[in-house]
């Protein structure tokens, strides 16, 4: 049996995610009131119009992606299987993705989110030093040139402090000022 | 006469040591960011944006202008030496520069690129000084319906100039418009899309959007790969380069011809005025025209200095043109001028028709910075730093990106002294990462965000004045003019698409 299966990729899921956000936005826009009152546009008119045009454009993008996925799918072989074959042929795991994010990107997001929490809690110096060191390890590898990474961490943290606090007079949070 | 003395006053302002220092510093930063593949001058200016809270507005504008000019020129360094354009605007330069590099003429190719950039950038800055005041006079004639149609024209041209991805350009622009509607309504005191939180009542600031879209997203993109350095030096032949190798022979400059330089500069400037076009399109159009009018079109794609001159002259001249709509109409056509607009807004200034006459003392040093950066700093930097360019840009990625992360995130904190802005920068960074991965133009997101509120305001004001009659957009002459202009652009850019045939490298995509 010649079964043609296809796999949806980021080209479909990204506009689909935006469509969900747009729908929430549209519902909230309707809560602002009717789009027209006494022949004049109200605060909800423009958002409603924008959201409706956006939904049409997103539907077109999703349809385009669906058509593309179906056209490129191979018979008797799912895209997942095809991808598995490709991955087994390639020794690198760098292309592996989770919810469309590479492990490196997930690492940067996680570290940055942690930095934002630590920035307020333990102040600029400790939070930044830790953040920079971990980013250096993420971008440059864990085992390579560790002493130079520690020196770079100290230099970047101090340079950031001098730039913002001393040169541009920005009051940064510190552990001793909490 | 007042305008002339005001413009000359801009050059005098550069004599201030602090302003001069920021111009040179900005130029060096722009050169570095433009040369490193993946980094752009837009990112450099985005990182500078938070610092403008503490800087004098004139100094900030001077630094922005020199970063812009340097970033546009320095993309040719890696385009020529390793065939990877440091900036998208240098793609056409790579077509000619890299074959020259393979012939052992890389230094000469960089010399031609610098000469073209110097001539184009200087002419573009001069044209800006001449045209901007005239454009401001014309802008005074445009009334509210015309302003709406002008902004709509700008947004539509930005969308349709996204070659091959008009739908994605439209989605990105509308997303920017939607984000801009968060907060207090532009006409009535109504809070919109705050979802019950007080932090969103004041709306979304431009800074976290810019930092997220251009800095954080770049970090995430770079985290995908595992290269140790930004540029692999093993790709470059270790031939020793002398400073005099950078000076292009007079015979080749004569062969290129003054007319080609002038024509390329005018093309670049005109393309720069168009919303959304940018340096890539300026270089492309100028390169295509140079090839069409050349006596030896068969030499293109094989290392022809004519192609380098045409592309570099145009993309640097574009810098001058890009400032015209931003300063006179308050409409930025590209991300750099959008960020410069942000610098002005942070300082309580709103560009428009009268801005050029009332605030000439603030913007004249920026014009002078563009001119001096092109005329003096481009050749001087090549001569002094040329032999070390590749070593400078082959910086370790761990050091570079962790530095960018700190400047970007702490910079976001500066605006309101709150980590909420930093969190917003992260959210927009993740959004822009997905957009870039799926080839949605982040430029459209930014321009939609910047122009959206004005579009809504002028639309509602017009309909309020005309008792809700939408026909006013067609009966008002200035509005009708921009609607007709939009139709013309739509016809030529969408219905009758420009053909790429014959341009080397275009067939491969």
Whether A107 and B223 have beta carbons less than 8 Å apart is answered as yes
- Distance in angstroms (rounded) separating the CA atoms of residues B23 and B224: 34
**B399-422: average pLDDT:** 89
- Decide if pLDDT at A85 tops 70: no
Residue B189 within any structural domain of the chain: yes
Largest CA distance in chain A: 73
**B195-218: average pLDDT:** 90
Looking at residue B1, its pLDDT comes to: 60
Nearest-Cα distance to chain B for A2, in Å, is 31
Kindly determine whether residue A112 and residue B405, on different chains, have CB atoms separated by under 8 Å.
yes
Nearest-Cα distance to chain A for B162, in Å, is 15
Find the CB nearest A54 among B174, B226, B433.
B174
Looking at residue A84, its pLDDT comes to: 43
Residue B180 within any structural domain of the chain: yes
Kindly determine whether residue A105 and residue B410, on different chains, have CB atoms separated by under 8 Å.
no
* Digit-coded pLDDT (tens) for B260-275: 999 999 999 999 988 7
Q: Is B438 on the interface with A (CB under 8 A)?
A: yes
Q: Is A135 on the interface with B (CB under 8 A)?
A: yes
Structure tokens at B403: 């530095």
Find the CB nearest B463 among A40, A100, A156.
A40
DSSP 3-state of B191: strand
Looking at residue A81, its pLDDT comes to: 45
Looking at residue A94, its pLDDT comes to: 52
- Decide if pLDDT at A56 tops 90: yes
Model confidence at B192, in pLDDT bands (50, 70, 90)? Answer: very high
- Decide if pLDDT at B498 tops 70: no
Looking at residue A90, its pLDDT comes to: 45
What is the domain range of residue B334?
Answer: 2-233+251-495
* Digit-coded pLDDT (tens) for B418-441: 889 999 999 999 999 999 999 999
Kindly determine whether residue B398 and residue A149, on different chains, have CB atoms separated by under 8 Å.
yes
Contacts of residue A46 in chain B, CB cutoff 8 Å? 181, 456, 459-460
Residue B263 within any structural domain of the chain: yes
Residue B245 within any structural domain of the chain: no
Contacts of residue B440 in chain A, CB cutoff 8 Å? 14
Structure tokens at B354: 């009268």
- Distance in angstroms (rounded) separating the CA atoms of residues B205 and B76: 34
- Mean pLDDT comparison of B35-49, B72-86, B365-379, highest-scoring range: B365-379
- Decide if pLDDT at A169 tops 50: yes
Residue B103 within any structural domain of the chain: yes
Contacts of residue B148 in chain A, CB cutoff 8 Å? none
Query: In A4-129, at which residue ranges do the beta strands (DSSP E only) sit?
Result: 36-37, 40-41
Residue B240 within any structural domain of the chain: no
Contacts of residue A174 in chain B, CB cutoff 8 Å? none
* Digit-coded pLDDT (tens) for A5-30: 567 788 899 999 999 999 999 999 99
Name the more confident of A169 and B406: B406
Model confidence at B186, in pLDDT bands (50, 70, 90)? Answer: confident
Looking at residue A44, its pLDDT comes to: 94
| Sequence spans of domains, chain A | 10-89, 103-177
Number of structural domains chain B divides into: 1
Kindly determine whether residue B178 and residue A131, on different chains, have CB atoms separated by under 8 Å.
no
Please report which residue ranges of B181-249 form alpha helices under DSSP H.
Answer: 206-210, 217-223
- Distance in angstroms (rounded) separating the CA atoms of residues B460 and B457: 5
Looking at residue B453, its pLDDT comes to: 93
């Amino acid at each position: 049996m010649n079964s043609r299966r296809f796999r949806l990729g980021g080209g479909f899921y990204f506009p689909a995610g935006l469509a969900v956000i747009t729908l929430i936005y549209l519902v909230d826009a309707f809560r602002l009131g009717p789009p027209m009152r006494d022949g004049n546009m109200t605060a909800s008119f423009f958002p409603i119009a924008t959201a409706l045009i956006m939904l049409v454009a997103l539907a077109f993008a999703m349809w385009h992606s669906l058509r593309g996925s179906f056209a490129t799918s191979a018979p008797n072989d799912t895209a997942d299987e095809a991808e598995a074959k490709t991955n087994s042929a390639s020794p690198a795991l760098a292309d592996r993705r989770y919810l469309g994010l590479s492990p490196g990107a997930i690492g940067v997001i996680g570290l940055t989110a942690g930095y934002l929490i630590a920035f307020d809690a333990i102040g600029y110096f400790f939070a930044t030093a830790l953040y920079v060191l971990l980013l250096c390890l993420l971008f440059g590898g864990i085992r390579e040139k560790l002493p130079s990474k520690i020196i770079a961490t100290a230099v970047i943290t101090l340079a950031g402090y001098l730039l913002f606090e001393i040169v541009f007079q920005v009051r940064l949070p510190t552990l001793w000022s909490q | 006469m007042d305008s002339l003395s005001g413009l000359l006053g801009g050059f005098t302002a550069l004599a201030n040591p602090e302003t001069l220092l920021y111009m040179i510093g900005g130029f060096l930063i722009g050169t570095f960011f433009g040369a490193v593949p993946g980094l752009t001058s837009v990112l450099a200016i985005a990182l500078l944006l938070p610092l403008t809270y503490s800087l004098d507005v004139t100094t900030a504008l001077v630094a922005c202008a020199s970063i812009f000019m340097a970033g546009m020129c320095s993309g040719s360094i890696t385009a020529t030496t390793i065939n990877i354009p440091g900036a998208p605007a240098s793609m056409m330069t790579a077509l000619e520069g890299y074959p020259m590099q393979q012939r052992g003429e890389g230094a000469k190719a960089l010399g031609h690129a610098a000469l073209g950039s110097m001539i184009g950038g200087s002419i573009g800055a001069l044209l800006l000084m001449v045209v901007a005041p005239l454009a401001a006079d014309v802008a005074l004639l445009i009334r509210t319906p015309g302003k709406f149609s002008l902004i709509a024209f700008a947004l539509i041209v930005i969308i349709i100039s996204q070659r091959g991805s008009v739908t994605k350009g439209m989605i990105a622009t509308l997303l920017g418009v939607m984000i801009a509607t968060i907060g207090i309504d532009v006409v009535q005191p109504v809070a919109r899309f705050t979802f019950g939180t007080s932090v969103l009542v004041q709306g979304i600031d431009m800074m976290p959007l810019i930092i997220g879209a251009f800095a954080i997203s770049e970090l995430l993109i770079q985290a995908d790969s595992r290269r140790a350095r930004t540029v692999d030096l093993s790709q470059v032949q270790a031939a020793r380069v002398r400073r005099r190798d950078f000076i292009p022979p007079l015979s080749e400059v004569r062969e290129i011809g003054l007319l080609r330089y002038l024509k390329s500069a005018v093309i670049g400037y005109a393309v720069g005025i168009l919303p959304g076009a940018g340096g890539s399109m300026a270089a492309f159009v100028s390169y295509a025209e140079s090839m069409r009018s050349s006596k030896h079109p068969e030499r293109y794609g094989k290392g022809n200095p004519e192609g380098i001159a045409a592309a570099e002259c145009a993309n640097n001249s574009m810098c001058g043109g890009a400032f015209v709509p931003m300063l006179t109409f308050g409409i930025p056509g590209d991300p750099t001028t959008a960020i410069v607009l942000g610098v002005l807004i942070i300082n309580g200034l709103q560009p428009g028709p009268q801005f050029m006459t009332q605030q000439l003392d603030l913007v004249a040093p920026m014009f002078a910075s563009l001119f001096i950066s092109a005329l003096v700093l481009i050749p001087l930097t090549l001569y002094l730093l040329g032999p070390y360019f590749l070593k400078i840009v082959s910086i370790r990625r761990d050091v570079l990106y962790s530095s960018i992360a700190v400047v970007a995130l702490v910079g976001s904190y500066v605006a309101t002294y709150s980590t909420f802005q930093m969190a917003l920068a992260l959210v927009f960074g993740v959004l822009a990462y997905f957009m870039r991965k799926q080839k949605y133009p982040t430029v459209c997101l930014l321009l939609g965000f910047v122009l959206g509120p004005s579009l809504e305001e002028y639309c509602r004001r017009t309909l309020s004045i005309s008792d809700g009659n939408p026909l006013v957009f067609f009966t008002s002459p200035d509005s009708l003019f921009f609607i007709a202009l939009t139709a013309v652009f739509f016809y030529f850019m969408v219905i009758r698409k420009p053909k790429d045939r014959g341009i080397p490298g275009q067939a491969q995509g």
